[in-house]
A and B are shown apart, each in its own frame.
Chain A
Amino acid sequence: MTDLINSYRTMPDERGHFGQFGGRYVAETLMPLILDLEKAYRAAKADPSFQEQFDDLLEHYVGRPSPLYFAERLTEALGGAQVWFKRDELNHTGAHKINNCIGQILLAMRMGKTRIIAETGAGQHGVATATVCARFGLPCTIFMGKTDVERQAPNVFRMKLLGAEVVPVTSGAATLKDAMNEALRHWVAHVHDTFYIIGTAAGPHPYPELVRDFQSVIGKEARAQMLSRTGRLPDLLVAAIGGGSNAIGLFHPFLDDPEVKMLGVEAAGYGLDGDQHAASLLGGFPGILHGNKTYLLQDEDGQITEGHSISAGLDYPGIGPEHAWLKESGRVDYTAVTDDEALEGFQLLCRTEGIIPALEPSHAIAAVARIAKQMPDDAIILANLCGRGDKDIFTVADKLGVEM
């Protein structure tokens, strides 16, 4: 199959499908909105002033381009391939999430929408959404599982400082997927004035495409920076995957460079052999949830099961549909890293590079640590450092048995 594909960058098709994945599996009330959103996005994409506005905000508000950094001491410590990082943790708000929020709020305003809603798990997307809403003066409601509200108190306070209303969701297990259900319920009842800023490259078409496009700034910058610094492309890209937005943002601009291999890293939680993990691709099956067809953690009856990861940003039981397709087409490899391995990756980066990473990219770091030593020392690995670890220090302290 791989030989027959001329380009991996032409997806989705006109119906929003990535091979058998993706699509628009929403209730009829939302269908006309989704079609409108697609039309509006096509028009925005074709309008140079939209791109200019986006680029301007990314440069002057978010602080892009983010640096491309050669991690010399980590490379030495691992002994093998050179390890480079795309420093998206240096963005305003501390993660890659803001790239997408800037794009979507510009689109919302273009469509004349006057209210913003979003779901959040760990709170990073909620903070990024509340940030752009404050910046543009739009009222903002964030749906967050009650369990997550309790575990992520600092981010809840940040959102409130930024003027957002945070709605704790008590249904189901009261985590990210339940927050997404509640956001969809709210959206159905406020279709005329409300724009839903989805935080990852999933959901009904055109969300997976537009989130990918907004996040692709990561890969476009990294590709140009790598060429200018080393005169060549990296041998391997590595990124952590929850819903998959930072990974698709890094990977997509390189998909048609056959010499560049790619590795997505899922959260293996306590291990893939049990059910306490969040590895939808490696431990799930194709199904339909939250507007798209993709790999899901589910039982034999199609009931959705709860993911687990030390990283609240990765414990979602689904995955963006483009990753499902990239897995099936064989273009990208996927692996998984346990909580304990991620915790080691976290500490390794702190000590060797003076960078405190978020627990999400700590999964990518752990995978890099596994692979780098098997590669020659003239090989180049480029990993995405998609968020900083300030939000996670309490979780890490708890796991390390430290009282703060």
Chain B
Amino acid sequence: MTRLSSAFAKGRPALVCFITAGDGDTAANLDALVAGGADVIELGMPFTDPMADGPAIQQANIRSLGAGTTTRDVLLTANEFRERHPDVPLVLMGYANPMVRRGPEWFAAEAKGAGVDGVICVDIPPEEDADLGPALRAEGIDLIRLATPTTDDARLPTVLSGSSGFLYYVSVAGITGKQQAAIDSIEAAVARLKAHATIPVAVGFGVRTPEQAAEIAKVADGVVVGSALVELVGEHGAEAPAKLRELTAALAQAVHSAR
């Protein structure tokens, strides 16, 4: 069993927490997420052109790149995280260009070496899988794909083919941040996805509060929270770890006891 599949096999829904690498004291922030009870960590790779992200994560990308964060820094952050937390699954999330710049094989090998379990690439759909998928699979890294409200039943098998770890359901047609999907639409979508998927289904985009997270955890295998955490990093700087730990603990409590 991989670290990722273990995280979804605890007999309760999993909490997946996202922050952007290089934004604030990333090591301390990541430790706070783990201490708060996050089951899976998503570490955002900063990019100059985050086309699928709303203002909160855009700002985090700008802060990170402004501080001089490089791809090697992100990989080093992952590697140090792995040394401190041998059992917590770590997923890199980002955009295609920084992942393929030195060749997908380079990226996959470096990520593997840093103890990364999975990769989410926003702008490589299944149709262009050759640019990244084979390299990741050769290293045994899960390629986690996104499904959205526009992904219909006819297309779902294409999305699922070659994806592993979990399926990330983007609950709103939109960007990361404040829009929220109605819970009954999420429920229907998750039921539809689970009819096709043999991997766990986690739901994200617009999930901000423990109350929302609990509602979603009633129907999904996992809940992803990003922008709300990233905003805390932006607002509180060096004080962010305590705030992150507090929100993560409340989210974890809500998600873990939802069913």
Residues in chain A within 8 A of chain B (CB atoms): 15, 23-33, 171-172, 177-178, 181, 184-185, 188-189, 191, 287-291, 293, 296, 298, 300-304
Contacts and interface: CB of A to CB of B under 8 A. Distances in A.
Contacts of A191: 150, 173
B175 A26 contact: no
B173 A303 contact: no
Contact of A177 (B49, B55, B62, B70): B49
Given A28-B170, A303-B65, 10 more contacts: A29-B174, A181-B51, A185-B52, A189-B173, A191-B150, A288-B95, A288-B100, A288-B124, A302-B47, A302-B97
Contacts of A296: 97
B123 A25 contact: yes
Given A287-B101, A301-B70, A301-B101, A31 B96 contact: no
Interface string B24-61: 00000000000000000000000111111111001000
Contacts of B53: 185
A372 B64 CA distance: 49
How many interface residues does chain B have, given as a range?
35 or more
A289 B51 CA distance: 9
Contact of B146 (A15, A27, A184, A293): A27
Interface of B: 47-55, 58, 62, 65, 70-71, 95-101, 122-125, 127-128, 131, 145-152, 155, 159, 170, 172-175, 179
Given A191-B173, A298-B97, A24 B51 contact: no
A357 B73 CA distance: 47
Given A188-B173, A189-B174, A29 B123 contact: no
B97 A28 contact: no
* Dominant SS among interface residues on chain B: loop
23 contacts: A23-B128, A24-B125, A25-B128, A26-B123, A27-B52, A28-B145, A29-B52, A29-B150, A29-B173, A31-B125, A32-B152, A171-B55, A172-B49, A181-B50, A188-B52, A188-B174, A288-B100, A290-B49, A291-B123, A302-B47, A302-B97, A302-B99, A304-B48
Contacts of A29: 52, 148-150, 170, 173-174
A100 B127 CA distance: 27
B97 A24 contact: no
B128 A24 contact: yes
A29 B169 CA distance: 11
Contacts of A301: 70-71, 98, 101
B224 to A, nearest CB: 15
